[in-house]
Chain A
Amino acid sequence: MSLIEIQEIAKTYGGIHALAGCTLSFEEGHISGLIGPNGSGKTTLFNVLTGYEQPDSGSVHFDGDEITRLSPDKVFDRGIGRTFQLTRIFPRMNVVENLHVAAQRSGGFRSELSRWSSASERARAKEVLDFVGLTRLASEMAGNLSYGQQKLLEFGCIIIARPRVILLDEPAGGINPTLLRHLASRIRALNDEGITFVVVEHDMEFVMGLCHKVCVMHQGRTLCSGHPDVVRQDPLVLEAYLGTDMRETDLTRSGAH
Chain B
Amino acid sequence: MAVAEAAPELLSPAEIDRAFRDPFSPSKRTRATSWILLLAVLTAFPLVFTNPAVTSIGVFTMFFLLAVVGWNIFSGYSGYISIGHAVYYGFGQYTVALLIMHLGITSGVSELAIVPLAGLAGAVVAVPVGLLVLRVRRHTFIVLTIAVMFIFQLLAFNFSSITGGSTGLNVSPPPWSGNDYNLPFYYIALGTAAIGLLTSWAVRRSKFGLGLLAIRDDEDRAKGLGIKVTRTKLIALVLSAFFVGIAGGLYAIFIGQVFPQFAFTPFYDLYLAVFAFVGGLGTLSGPVFGALLLGPLQQYFELQFGATTLYLIIYGVLFVVILLALPRGIVPSLADRYRSFLAGRWRRAEERRGVAGSGVTAGSMIASAPGAAPAERGGS
Contact = CB atoms under 8 A, between A and B. Distances in A.
Interface of A: 50-52, 71-73, 75-77, 81-82, 84, 88-94, 96-97, 100-102, 105-106, 109, 111-117, 119, 122-123, 125-140, 144-149, 152, 157, 159, 161-162, 175-176, 178-179, 182, 189-190, 193-195
A131 B5 contact: yes
A126 B20 contact: yes
Contacts of A133: 363, 366-367
Contact of A144 (B225, B363, B373): B373
Contacts of B26: none
Given A101-B214, A106-B226, A195-B1, 14 more contacts: A52-B224, A77-B226, A81-B225, A93-B214, A122-B20, A123-B16, A134-B366, A136-B367, A144-B373, A176-B365, A176-B380, A178-B365, A190-B3, A193-B1
A146 B377 contact: yes
A78 to B, nearest CB: 10
17 contacts: A76-B226, A88-B218, A90-B222, A100-B207, A112-B207, A114-B206, A115-B206, A127-B4, A130-B4, A131-B4, A134-B366, A136-B369, A137-B370, A140-B373, A149-B380, A157-B225, A178-B362
B376 interface: yes
A94 B211 CA distance: 14
Interface in B226-255: 226-229, 231-232
A126 to B, nearest CB: 5
Contacts of A147: 380
A147 B5 CA distance: 24
Contacts of B378: 146
B31 interface: no
A97 B223 contact: no
A138 B20 contact: yes
B4 A113 contact: no
B354 interface: no
Contacts of B23: 139
Nearest to A152: B366
A90 B213 contact: yes
A146 B371 contact: no
Contacts of A134: 366-367
B205 interface: yes
A51 B225 CA distance: 12
A148 B373 CA distance: 12
A139 B20 contact: yes
B32 interface: no
Interface of B: 1-5, 8, 11, 13, 16-17, 19-23, 25, 205-211, 213-214, 216-218, 220-229, 231-232, 362-363, 365-371, 373-374, 376-380
Contacts of B223: 71-73
Given A114-B206, A115-B206, A116-B207, A139 B21 contact: yes
A71 B228 CA distance: 10
A177 to B, nearest CB: 11
Which of A84, A123, A162, A176 has the most CB atoms of chain B within a 10 A radius of its CB?
Answer: A123
Nearest first, the 10 A-B pairs at minimum CB distance are: A139-B22, A90-B217, A136-B367, A148-B380, A102-B225, A72-B224, A76-B226, A112-B208, A105-B226, A133-B366
